[in-house]
Amino acid sequence: MKVVRLHAPGDLRLSDEPVPVPGPGEVLLRVRAVGVCASDVHYYSEGCIGDQVVREPLVLGHEVGAEVAEAGPGVADLAPGDRVAVEPGQSCGECDPCRRGWPNLCPRVRFFGTPPVDGAMREFVSWPARLCTKLPPGMSFAEAAMIEPAAVGIYSVDLAGIRGGEKTAILGAGGIGLCVLQAARLAGAGKIWMTDPLPERCRLALRLGADRALDGDPEAAARTVREESGGPDVVFECAGTNEAVEQAVALAGFNARVIIVGIPYPDEVRFTASTARRKNLTLVFVRRSRDAVERAVEWARDGRMDLKSLVTHRLPLEEADRALRLARDRAGGVIRAVIEV
């Protein structure tokens, strides 16, 4: 099978490797679509995310739409030809977070495209059947690859505790930010402001439910949100920069919740402590998703979330390097580049 491996920052190589054999409880998946996430870009650009360092050639990719090619021993609810979305995190089920219902916090999780676990930028992968969700009729594989970022967006809104009517700001209108936007609207958020340097992303944000979308200089946009809103009740940081975290704290209202969704580089978060303290802010960090994949599939099926619009570029596996560079450079109007296998 064809496989794309990251050997060093910026060094992707196409190779031929054996097709894996599904074990008990697993299915062999024929990968059809893989979304390029910001975490993939971090590994591609820096070779690490925090203390997770690429030390051996690694297959990237965790946003997956696939077709079952073979069912392993003991699998009864999936069969060859079934089309699925894939939960990319396999938790241990035994640690304290797992036992308490937080598998996304499992310290022993095996997560696609995270060292040393290979991801899905390849033709086939074996994965537990319990982590595969059947697709409804009519959902494309590219849309299925967007289920994982949609689940992150839904979980982020879960953590925000939106009850209805909250003034909300979202910094960053990439794939995750636009999923947060749609989930916040479904949760009953009040007026929603969105900021992003790129005007084409702000135009899409307006179409997907934002009341205001401000492009250009992020700091100036954040000041405008603060002036217009008087300080939002909830702020989502989805830009993945330390500057955005600082802006989120600065523009938040009193007793607000700041939800930090993005992954910054370098591995640190900075903000003015006195500002956060005087406003009595609550800062919440997001770790992937929890119990949200089925909701993402259901909401996309019912038209409550538009995942199709996130897919702006489709490239073959042989052009994985171009897909990652597009995502890294935010070029060509990209929201999500999807590698079609």
Residues 136 and 180 in one domain: no
Q: Does one domain contain both 272 and 255? A: yes
Domain that holds residue 23: 2-146+307-340
Identify the CATH number of the domain in which residue 199 sits: 3.40.50.720
Spell out where the chain has E strands: 2-8, 11-16, 26-35, 48-49, 52-53, 63-71, 83-86, 89-90, 110-111, 124-128, 132-134, 168-171, 192-195, 212-214, 234-237, 257-260, 282-285, 311-316, 336-340
Domain match, 142 and 159 both? no
140 and 181 inside one domain: no
How confident is the model at residue 83, as a pLDDT? 98
**Residue 103: what pLDDT?**
96
Decide: 143 and 307 in contact? Cβ < 8 Å. Answer: yes
Same domain, 51 and 92: yes
The answer to the question of residue 122 being in a domain is yes
Is the pLDDT at 264 greater than 90? The verdict is no
- For the chain, what is the domain count? 2
Q: Residue 54's pLDDT is what?
A: 96
d(CA 297, CA 144): 8
Tell me whether residue 206 is in a domain. Answer: yes
Residue 105 pLDDT: 97
Same domain, 314 and 244: no
Instruction: Please tell me whether residues 142 and 207 are part of one structural domain.
Output: no
**pLDDT above 70 coverage of the chain, percent:** 100
- pLDDT per position as a tens digit, 9-38: 999 999 999 999 999 999 999 999 999 999
Region 171-198: mean pLDDT is 98
pLDDT at 322: 97
Size of the chain in residues: 341
Q: Which residue has the higher pLDDT, 3 or 267?
A: 3
Do 188 and 128 share a structural domain?
Answer: no
Do 6 and 142 lie in a common domain?
A: yes
Distance (Å, whole) CA 217 – CA 225:
12
pTM of the complete model: 0.96
**pLDDT tens digits for 97-139?**
999 999 999 999 999 999 999 999 999 999 999 999 999 999 9
The answer to whether position 295 is within a domain reads: no
| 208-236 per-position pLDDT tens digit | 999 999 999 999 999 999 999 999 999 99
302 occurs within a structural domain: no
Contact 91, 153 (CB under 8 A): no
| The pLDDT value given to residue 100 | 97
Query: CATH code at 102?
Result: 3.90.180.10
Query: Are 140 and 174 contained in the same domain?
Result: no
Query: For position 81, what pLDDT does the model report?
Result: 97
Mean pLDDT, all residues of the chain: 97
Q: Are residues 8 and 141 in the same domain?
A: yes
Do 200 and 251 lie in a common domain? Answer: yes
Residue of 327, 287, 331, 238 whose CA lies nearest to 44: 327
Is 292 inside a domain boundary?
A: no
